[in-house]
Amino acid sequence: MVNERSRDQNIVTSTLLALVIFLLPGTAAWAENQVSSVEVLSMLDFNAILITEVDVVFVYDQQLAAELADTKGGWYSQKYDLNEDQAAALDLVTISVPQGFNSASVNIPERSAAAIKVFSSAYHESQSTPIHDLTELNNVLIQIDEFGIVVSEKR
């Protein structure tokens, strides 16, 4: 009877441990993103009078990542408060890109590998445009066109 009880307790303990390791977000298995570089390229006409602000945001806190707005309008409405109040939980890299600009590389923060989520948004996109999740990309290419930004893996 004692051996069966001990065995049952070991099974329960092992199962709980497996759940903690594999199912809980924010554990080490999910803490690293794939982003190693971000390049921004403007596809806009040289004659257009436009400078586009592009934000690349590295988020290090699981709760904050879950609570962030999921649209461009939502992001820009909370951007400055978050940058002030949650500075330890995120890195905000903003780059201003003039029209027709060949390319600019984003300065990746030193602690970027520990980010749980990485996303991007551009100021001239529609308010309802979803933020662009970069977390699973390695060499990110952000292309600016007249409608917003297009995000892809740089080849």
For residue 56, give the CATH number of its domain. 2.60.40.4150
User: What is the model's pTM?
Assistant: 0.75
- Count structural domains, the chain: 2
- Quote the domain boundaries for residue 70: 32-153
Same domain, 123 and 145: yes
Same domain, 15 and 65: no
Helices (H), 24-94: 28-31, 62-67, 72-85
pLDDT tens across the length of the chain (155 residues): 545 555 555 444 444 333 333 333 443 344 478 898 899 988 877 776 677 889 999 999 999 999 999 999 999 999 999 989 999 999 999 998 887 776 778 899 999 999 999 999 988 888 999 999 999 999 999 998 878 889 999 88
Same domain, 91 and 140: yes
Same domain, 109 and 83: yes
Cα 71 to Cα 77, 79, 122, 134, 135, distances in angstroms: 10, 12, 11, 14, 16
Same domain, 78 and 139: yes
